[in-house]
Structure formats: structure tokens, C-alpha cells
Structure 1
Amino acid sequence: MALPELDVARVQRWCAAKVPNHARHEVRLECEVASRHLTITEHRPPWCEDLGPDWISFPIARLRYTATNKTWTLYWRDRHQRFHRYDLLDPSAHIADLLTEIDKDPTGIFWG
């Protein structure tokens, strides 16, 4: 089963709204779509010309969808690029709950 299109669109709009137009040449926030999850990633231009023209990608959070009960679960990324369930928020049928928690970031685990 595919991810709910309205939820995917909501996360894409949320990402686009996080970075003001005047800063988009320095940082972008994007939503990478997979079959069962969305990954919110921060992208920055290379800090050194020797690195080439490709922007550097850094995962911020993963939002995993469980089709059987139609809920979203929030995951955080560790220093080894592995994701772990964020246990301060129960799975929710409303993806906005996860986005609100990422915004609040009470532990500093998403935005530092």
C-alpha cells in the first residue's frame, strides 16, 4: 500500500516552508519518499570546491507509516546514520502531530 498522498504533500509543504526564500542557496529541507516512510533531510552546498558541486545531505527524521492501523511513527537518527523510534510521542493517525514534535524538539535530538 502506498503512503497517503495528502500526508506526503503536507510534509513536502512543511519542508518548503521551513527555509525562507533568501536562504535557499545555503540550505534546503526536503522530504524523500520511500514505499513505507518519509525521510526529512537537510541539504547544504559543499563547503569546499574540492568536494564537487553536489550538495551534502543530512537526514533529520524519519516518519514511518503502518498501513494496517493507518498510523505514523517518528524516528530520530543517531551519529551512525541509523534510525531509532522516538519514544516521547506515540504513533499517530495525524502526521501533523509528528511535524509539531519535530518543530518543538524538546530533547534537541532533531535540530541540535
Structure 2
Amino acid sequence: MDPFTEKRVHSILNGYIHVKIPARMRTSVQLLYEMRDHELTLREKRLSWDGKSWEMTDIAKFKLEPEGWKVYAKNRQQGNWLGVNSIMPNMDFENQLEQVERDPAGIFWPA
């Protein structure tokens, strides 16, 4: 990933996380991301019910492929990542993040 794209993605995600998690909740819920090569994984970190440890949940994976950013969801039973066919690859990362945020099928943000 070129430096401009990487910096833009960092900026988009940092802004998204700031808006998504209200300040009053940031001591118990965090959104984190890990960027490696052409992949980015978005995770949620929550304080356990007893407040003694943190639990990490994978939310979505974004892969920069030749046709654009492809979105993947975690198969909770098998633990592998599956491409989300209802979200077409797009060169605009912000668009793909918005699709994950909307999540009409409840794939990424299970209740």
C-alpha cells in the first residue's frame, strides 16, 4: 500500500473510532485496527463482565485487491474469514467502512 493511501486510511479510521465510541464508554469499549501489507483488521475490545480482563472480537477485514477494497466477515463458528458478496469491492476505503457500519444484515455488529 502506498504511503498516501496508508495515511488516508489511518485518518479515516481514527476519525471513525472517535465518533463511534463515546468518550464516556472508552474505558470499557475500544475499537482497534491492525494494518499489515494490504490488509486491515478492525476489532472491538471490551472489558469483561467482571472488569478483570479484556475480550477481543474481530469485526471486519478489509483487503486491498486489484479491483478495490474487499470486505470480509469472520465466520464465528469456524473462525475463518469469508468474503461478503453483498459488498462489492471499491477503491474508496471510506465507502467500504460505511458499508460495515450500516450492516443491515447484522453480519459485523451482532446484537
Shorter-normalised TM-score: what interval? 0.7 to 0.9
1:19 counterpart (12, 17, 21): 21
Where do residues 1-112 of structure 1 align in structure 2 (5 Å cutoff)?
A: 1-2=1-2, 4-5=5-6, 6-48=8-50, 54-66=53-65, 69=66, 71-79=68-76, 80-112=78-110
Please report how far the alpha carbon of residue 46 of structure 1 lies from its aligned counterpart in structure 2 after TM superposition: 2.9
CA shift digits 1:3-23 (9 cap, x unpaired): 722123212321232100000
| Structure 1 unaligned regions, length at least 5 | none
| CA–CA separation in structure 2 for the residues paired with 1:111 and 1:41 | 11
Paired residues in the alignment total 107
Residue identity matched to 1:82 = N
Stretches (4+) displaced over 4 A: none
| CA–CA separation in structure 1 for the residues paired with 2:9 and 2:96 | 11
> 1:90 aligns to what SS in structure 2?
coil
Asked if structure 2 preserves the Cα contact closer than 8 Å seen for 1:12 and 1:31, the reply is no
| Structure 2 unaligned regions, length at least 5 | none
Asked if structure 1 preserves the Cα contact closer than 8 Å seen for 2:67 and 2:89, the reply is no
Asked if structure 1 preserves the Cα contact closer than 8 Å seen for 2:61 and 2:71, the reply is yes
Please report how far the alpha carbon of residue 34 of structure 1 lies from its aligned counterpart in structure 2 after TM superposition: 1.4
Please report how far the alpha carbon of residue 2 of structure 1 lies from its aligned counterpart in structure 2 after TM superposition: 5.0
C-alpha RMSD of the superposition: 1.9
Residue identity matched to 1:38 = L
TM normalised by structure 1 equals 0.83
Please report how far the alpha carbon of residue 81 of structure 1 lies from its aligned counterpart in structure 2 after TM superposition: 2.3
Please report how far the alpha carbon of residue 70 of structure 1 lies from its aligned counterpart in structure 2 after TM superposition: 6.2
TM normalised by structure 2 equals 0.84
